[in-house]
Structure 1
Amino acid sequence: MSTTGESPRVLTVTNRHRRGRRPPVVLVAVLAACALVAGCSAAADPAPAAPAPATTAPPAPTTTAPPVPELPGGDTVVFPGRRMAALYGHPGTPSMGVLGEQDLPRSIERAKRLAADFQPLVREPVVPAFEIIATVADRVPGADGDYSAEMSVDELRPWVEQAGRAGVYVVLDLQPGTTDFLTQARRYTELLARPHVGLALDPEWRLEPGQRHGVQVGSVTAAEVNRTSQWLAGLVRERRLPQKVFLLHQFRVPMIADRQAVVTTHPELATVLHADGYGTRQEKLETWNALHAAPRPTGLWWGWKNFIDEDSPTFTPRETYAVRPESPVFVSYQ
């Protein structure tokens, strides 16, 4: 029974009793019935539902980038904090440097012994290294016509992989002939994407059309160097790699005539000016001093090359580190 349906009837009975002045018995009964109906209705109503427990939204998924791998010797910045002592040359070719005088396992051991010779002279770790001539200046144009013989990635891969496992840093050296450094560097993207592999440019072997190796000493513009360094720095950022050695060989000022325009501000790269050239002690120091005196950008690190057979005599490790105005952080032996 609905309480809403009873309301008109209750009002009619009450008015009639007031007109006849009779005891309101019927009214009391009706009111009692209404109260009973209201009580039953209230009892029948369900209790209000308990509020639903508050729900906490699951945390949004987060992706944490993998850490940047460390360099041989620790950390992710090349210099300062370490030095490098390297065997230079072409695998299997003894005439091109000491790296080619023995097989890969013995090259690793020789590089470690070389680093150990330098270690007592400095506090920072001296890391063993290879500087591998990946593209070799050639007197004939070859199938691609660029006067440069390129090692394949497959040929270089064992040297890069085994060196990395042994804690040996690797620098790939380019002698590009009549092609440009960036074109050759891109050939080795797979290897340069390894955290322990850097890049060296050798302007002596960068020819203009019509020039020939052994007739002219090559050269490179700062613009070409900068295009190469910009690409390499981008690879470091894209692959989340530690800082790389970016090494520029030079023994004559005209080899990089506008060297002051070379960009050295890429934080992804440690740009090293590597003083090449052989001869007597006096001749080597004259080359070193001339390279320091020529216009140059700020932010350069310095390297030095010792020629075991051609120098007379070869600098000892102590003599090498003693050169001034600054001690070289990258020393190679050819």
Structure 2
Amino acid sequence: MGLFTSCATDGKKAKGHTKVTANGDTVVVEEEKEDTTRQPIDTAKYNALVRKLANGDSTGKWPVKKQPYPLDGAILPFKRIVVYYGNLYSKKMGALGEYAPKEMLAKLDAEVKRWEKADPSTPVQPGLHYIAVVAAGDPGKAGKYRTRMPFKQIDSVMTISRMRKNMIVFLDIQVALGTIRDELPQLEQYLKLPNVHLGIDPEFSMKDGSLPGRKIGTYDAADINYCSDYLANLVKKYNLPPKVFVVHRFTKKMVTNSQNIKLRPEVQVVMHMDGWGEPELKKGTYRHFIYSEPVQFTGFKLFYKNDLKKAPNRLMTPEELLKLKPAPIYIQYQ
């Protein structure tokens, strides 16, 4: 442990310069004052963009009906979010953590350019999706089989994000034998920042007491609504732009009663296809568990290693993903 060190504290920006060190890669970041200026939402453009994402779907499922317009400063659907996922303590959990900061960001830059080329009409919002609460193989002091990452490591992720202008950060939660109601408030000091968003992983929500990794967990709409309520209250309290809220999914039981998920102007919900495998399998998972149960926006994960486990598998391209109905507006690379 202790791969990264940072002089940032509580996720706040310091004056002057910040150093990030990892595996001999030291980066000096010049701090900038955050621009909080936001323009009113263009509702006509919003309507046109969600229709475009539907890709001509004729079933009536997409675009989602009766969704509220977001508050000023909404990212979706005006930009496509492209992120690297992982944890700084592990090289096996994703590109964020596998590579030193400069190399990792250069690789992410290359993916951003691929998406900009594939869909020039949609600007790309780069981001880092960091697992802040990790399902663990041992019970720990709390007996919950989850490990909360130290704030100094979250600070390091925040510092790395400032190496690129206007980059956003997602904090992801794997509760294991804990509960989302216990874990989410622990991250409030970061979630109240305008550029920090949320992800939750039903795969590791073990409500029946099973150990994480032994079977696939679940969240109900009530859990998702709790998170949305919590985020909405932060948005209103701190006058923030809407929060993006990512829910991972690759089976039906991972999310129950999805029709009861509530949408709010303060929160933009992304149902994210998190399965790995060859392209046809991934497209089938997306069709069965994301397309068939509309919520609001959709996401798609690409695994640099797991998607290629069986020859002649390959990584799906932006051009292929843009043909899906609906087209995913959040893209995650692990």
Q: TM exceeds 0.5?
A: yes
1:115 and 1:295 map into 2 onto residues whose CA distance is 28
Whether the 8 Å CA contact 2:224–2:261 is kept in 1: the answer is yes
**Equivalence for 1:116:** 113
Equivalent residue in structure 2 for 1:306, among 302, 307, 318: 302
**Equivalence for 2:21:** none
Q: Deviations over 1:256-301 (max 9, x none)?
A: 121111112x11111000011011111111101101454444xx10
Deviates more, 1:213-222 or 1:110-119: 110-119
Higher relative contact order (CA 8 A, sep 6+): 2
Q: Percent identity?
A: 28
Q: Deviations over 1:79-100 (max 9, x none)?
A: 1210011111111411111111
Secondary structure of the 1:94 match is coil
Secondary structure of the 1:128 match is strand
Whether the 8 Å CA contact 2:83–2:108 is kept in 1: the answer is yes
**Equivalence for 2:127:** 129
Task: Give unmatched runs, 5+ long, in structure 1.
Answer: 1-66
Shift of 1:165: 5.4
* Letter of the 1:154 counterpart: K
What is the count of residue pairs matched by the alignment? 262
Whether the 8 Å CA contact 1:88–1:333 is kept in 2: the answer is yes
**Equivalence for 1:277:** 275
1:306 and 1:226 map into 2 onto residues whose CA distance is 27
Whether the 8 Å CA contact 1:137–1:213 is kept in 2: the answer is yes
Whether the 8 Å CA contact 1:99–1:132 is kept in 2: the answer is yes
Secondary structure of the 1:115 match is helix
Secondary structure of the 1:118 match is helix
Q: Deviations over 1:128-184 (max 9, x none)?
A: 111111111112111111111111222111211341452221111111111112321
1:224 and 1:87 map into 2 onto residues whose CA distance is 25
1:291 and 1:327 map into 2 onto residues whose CA distance is 14
- Flag the 1:293–1:197 CA change in 2: closer, same or farther, 3 A: closer
Structure holding more strand per residue: 2
**Equivalence for 2:245:** 246
**Equivalence for 1:46:** none
Moved over 6 A (4+): none
TM-score (norm 1): 0.74
Whether the 8 Å CA contact 1:247–1:273 is kept in 2: the answer is yes
Based on CA coordinates, which of the two structures has the bigger radius of gyration? 1
Deviates more, 1:190-199 or 1:153-162: 153-162
1:159 and 1:115 map into 2 onto residues whose CA distance is 19
2:109 and 2:192 map into 1 onto residues whose CA distance is 24
1:1-334 alignment to 2 at 5 Å? 68-69=36-37, 76-122=73-119, 123-164=121-162, 166=164, 167-264=166-263, 266-292=264-290, 294-297=292-295, 300-311=296-307, 312-322=313-323, 324-334=324-334
Q: What RMSD in Å do the two structures reach over aligned CA positions?
A: 2.0
* Letter of the 1:158 counterpart: S
Shift of 1:112: 2.2
* Letter of the 1:78 counterpart: I
Whether the 8 Å CA contact 2:272–2:290 is kept in 1: the answer is no
1:112 and 1:189 map into 2 onto residues whose CA distance is 29
Whether the 8 Å CA contact 1:68–1:76 is kept in 2: the answer is no
